[in-house]
């Protein structure tokens, strides 16, 4: 099911019109108190607000003026944060909010928060009204809802419009409840248990809503303000400041996932390489977590709308214990599934760079290919600062591996940076130096000046044919390394467009809280930013990750790609002719390669599922659609299995995600591309 928002419920005609008369004529706290007790800001919130605004003005990379245009952006961001699915506010509400659209800039500078709190209080009352109504009607859904109608709902929230009045909101709630129920049925929920499931789900949401306090509102509003600067700038109040990295990593006695909030969902941004989630092959970037259960049999707790720190606490736990996650898969966003992952600690040795050697026959010659997989750019800073000569780092480990590979007389080298989310900038710079004579590697631009990191060592540890393999999850330091190799024409970049994380964040203390803000951007020696666009490969593989849902460009308000002045550097001879020939050979091979055709079919099917703007609310039609896609996926799987000499499957299960198989197909292709690269190096008398 494409759960852009699953909140909701059926209605009786009588109650629709009774409730539709409860139109708010004013957004003052006194008017709101007629339905629910208004929550007001605390005195300390005013001073915190002023501190945040001053810090943004002083330290943020973008020299944005807090003026009327920014005020309008802040209001839009706030409304999107509160009601992204346009299922609570009406056109009339939004019209009244617009009278404040040029007021936030002045209010924020003076620490005035009444308007923001009044809007939130209406959100609270409308949310409570809806949930109360839902809970009243849940027990009658089997009689009151008609699943034979040929009706549909808009599932892409970007295409939704504000409803004119509350009567129309009730129709929307009914449709979304029907979608929720259909999804439970399609996921084999017993009809007798559906009412109980819905009761628990919406009762928990109501309880969480009623626990909202002024600190919560202040944090939500101020993060709407910071998000108006860029998506990585964030305010952490005292409660959360000591745990500010909760949305970055769960690697310590957890599952090893990078998470962030996307509207009411907890979304997987990337997986820690070699972590429990990564090794399970059951979770992938773009998946949305909508429930968490403890152990192998614990009840799944609904997490839609929960703060990310609470979701993280549910997911974390002692090593060797199990956690069950109910997810909306990125690959099949019209359905849900429940997976089980064993919590473990990510072991340092598993995060280290590793080598492999494969031998292959190609054009009547035997080739030895070296492969170095780098999960992240690591360094033991404590040992480094102590002056310990044996401190552990990516560059030192890779240098050692290169010596071993050269002793094996390899013909070409593949650096595998897939799923490498970055790490130490120092290591990205020094690792690049192993493959270049000397020169600048990256430019770092703050609002005040531009600095550069250089490779000062003229020694080259490896001078043969080089391929750098990247994917959508290759980010930050990975993009710096790949960008330098590309700009210097030192090697060929293959794979898919990278993440596009080209900004630098720093933490500013703010009383007892913290403000994480963007203070700089990375630029390649060519002057191109790595931000937003990422690194484009010289040879493009099928895109497994959906660009719309993953990577920097998927984030609202992400800083744009741009350029600065190109720096002087001595590049090797152009690889344009090599790249052109490699692409031509690859395209010819891809027409009949079983692995690549399998990937293309899986991606095409997933895109077809995810690109639906409307979702049918006819139960039989949904069952038929599900059966159709399941049969198609089985056919695609079996065509591939037959082509590689394996027995067919009869049904789909969790093991059919084939994440490892996808990775193997890509690596096998990279072996062939490297073999072609070696041939071309000989033919063109190309050397480094």
DSSP state of 563: B
Please identify which of the residues 93, 230, 397, 487 carries the catalytic annotation. Answer: 487
Contact 487, 527 (CB under 8 A): no
- Residue 74: Cβ-neighbour burial (10 angstroms; 0-12, 13-18, 19+): buried
Q: How far is CA 206 from the centre of its chain?
A: 28
Packing angle of the helix pair 425-433, 394-407 (nearest 10 deg) = 30
Conformational region of residue 482, where left means phi above 0, alpha means psi within -120 to 50, and beta covers everything else: alpha
Please identify which of the residues 476, 478, 519, 554 carries the catalytic annotation. Answer: 476
* 334 has catalytic annotation: no
- C-alpha dihedral (245, 246, 250, 252), degrees to nearest 10: 60
Contact 286, 269 (CB under 8 A): no
Measured distance CA(41)–CA(52) in Å, rounded = 16
Question: If you search the block for the tokens 């009411």, which residue do you land on?
Answer: 264
Instruction: Residue 564: count other Cβ atoms within 10 Å of its Cβ.
Output: 15
* 486 has catalytic annotation: no
Instruction: Residue 64: count other Cβ atoms within 10 Å of its Cβ.
Output: 15
Bridge partner residues of 72 (DSSP): none
For 552-661, list the strands marked E by DSSP. Answer: 614-616
Question: If you search the block for the tokens 């780092």, which residue do you land on?
Answer: 393
Please identify which of the residues 279, 331, 501, 516 carries the catalytic annotation. Answer: 501
Q: Are strands 466-470 and 492-495 parallel, antiparallel or unpaired?
A: parallel
Report the greatest alpha carbon distance in the chain.
85
DSSP state of 361: E
Contact 61, 521 (CB under 8 A): yes
Q: How far is CA 189 from the centre of its chain?
A: 29
Measured distance CA(634)–CA(631) in Å, rounded = 5
Q: Are strands 322-328 and 301-302 parallel, antiparallel or unpaired?
A: unpaired
Contact 283, 268 (CB under 8 A): yes
Bridge partner residues of 324 (DSSP): 293, 340
* 639 has catalytic annotation: no
Measured distance CA(89)–CA(162) in Å, rounded = 7
Q: How far is CA 652 from the centre of its chain?
A: 26
Helix extents (H) in 387-520: 394-407, 425-433, 477-487
Residues designated as active site: 476, 487, 501
């Amino acid at each position: 099911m494409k759960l852009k928002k699953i909140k909701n419920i059926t209605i009786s005609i009588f109650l629709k019109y009774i409730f539709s008369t409860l139109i708010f004529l004013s957004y003052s706290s006194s008017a709101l108190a007629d339905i629910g007790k208004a929550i007001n800001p605390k005195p300390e919130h005013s001073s915190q607000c002023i501190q945040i605004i001053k810090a943004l003005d002083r330290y943020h990379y973008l020299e944005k003026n807090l003026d009327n245009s920014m005020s309008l952006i802040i209001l839009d961001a706030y409304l999107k944060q509160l009601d992204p699915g346009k299922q609570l506010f009406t056109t009339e509400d939004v019209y009244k909010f617009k009278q404040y659209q040029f007021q936030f800039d002045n209010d924020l500078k003076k620490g005035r928060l009444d308007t923001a709190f009044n809007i939130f209080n209406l959100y609270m009352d409308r949310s409570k009204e809806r949930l109360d109504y839902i809970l009243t009607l849940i027990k009658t859904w089997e009689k009151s809802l008609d699943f034979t109608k040929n009706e549909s709902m808009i599932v892409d929230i970007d295409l939704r419009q504000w409803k004119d009045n509350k009567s129309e909101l009730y129709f929307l709630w009914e449709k979304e409840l029907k979608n929720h129920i259909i999804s439970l049925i399609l996921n084999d929920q017993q009809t007798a248990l559906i009412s109980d499931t819905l009761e628990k789900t919406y009762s928990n949401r109501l309880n969480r809503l009623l626990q909202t306090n002024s600190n919560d509102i202040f944090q939500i509003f101020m993060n709407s303000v910071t998000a108006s600067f860029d998506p990585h700038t964030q305010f952490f109040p005292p409660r959360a400041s000591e745990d500010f990295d909760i949305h970055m990593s769960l690697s310590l006695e957890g599952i090893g996932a990078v998470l962030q909030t996307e509207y009411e969902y907890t979304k997987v941004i990337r997986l820690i390489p070699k972590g429990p989630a990564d090794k399970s092959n059951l979770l992938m970037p773009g998946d949305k977590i909508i429930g968490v259960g403890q152990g192998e049999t614990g009840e799944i707790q609904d997490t839609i709308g929960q703060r990310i720190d609470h979701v993280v606490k549910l997911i974390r736990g002692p090593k060797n214990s199990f956690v069950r996650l109910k997810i909306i898969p990125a690959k099949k966003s019209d359905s849900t599934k429940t997976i089980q992952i064993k919590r473990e600690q990510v072991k340092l040795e598993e995060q280290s760079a590793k080598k492999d050697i494969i031998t292959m026959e190609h054009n009547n010659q035997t080739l030895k290919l070296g492969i170095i997989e780098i999960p992240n750019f690591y360094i033991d800073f404590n040992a480094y600062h102590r002056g310990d000569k044996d401190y552990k780092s990516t560059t030192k480990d890779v240098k050692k591996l290169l010596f071993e590979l050269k002793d094996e007389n390899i013909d070409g080298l593949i650096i595998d940076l897939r799923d490498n989310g970055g790490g130490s900038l120092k290591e990205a710079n020094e690792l690049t130096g192993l493959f270049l004579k000397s020169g600048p590697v990256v430019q770092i631009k703050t609002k005040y000046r531009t600095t550069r990191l250089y490779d000062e060592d003229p020694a080259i540890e490896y001078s043969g044919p080089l391929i750098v393999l990247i994917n959508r999850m290759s980010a930050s330091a990975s993009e710096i390394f790949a960008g330098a190799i590309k700009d210097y024409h030192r090697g060929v970049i293959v794979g898919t467009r990278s993440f596009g994380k080209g900004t630098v964040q720093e933490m500013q203390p703010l009383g007892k809280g913290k403000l994480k803000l963007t203070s700089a951007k990375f630029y390649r020696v060519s002057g191109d930013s790595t931000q937003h666009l990422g690194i484009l490969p010289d040879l493009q593989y099928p895109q497994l990750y959906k660009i719309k849902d993953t990577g920097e460009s998927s984030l609202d308000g992400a800083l744009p790609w741009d350029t600065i002045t190109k720096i002087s550097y001595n590049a090797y001879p152009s690889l344009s002719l090599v790249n052109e020939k490699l692409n031509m050979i690859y395209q010819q091979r891809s027409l009949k390669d079983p692995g690549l055709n399998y990937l293309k079919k899986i991606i095409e099917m997933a895109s077809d599922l995810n690109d639906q703007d409307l979702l049918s609310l006819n139960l039989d039609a949904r069952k038929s659609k599900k059966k159709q896609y399941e049969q198609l996926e089985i056919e695609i799987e079996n065509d591939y299995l037959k082509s590689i000499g394996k027995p067919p499957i009869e049904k789909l299960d969790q093991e059919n995600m084939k994440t490892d198989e996808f990775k193997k197909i890509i690596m096998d292709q990279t072996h062939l591309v490297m073999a072609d690269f070696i041939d071309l190096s000989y033919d063109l008398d190309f050397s480094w």
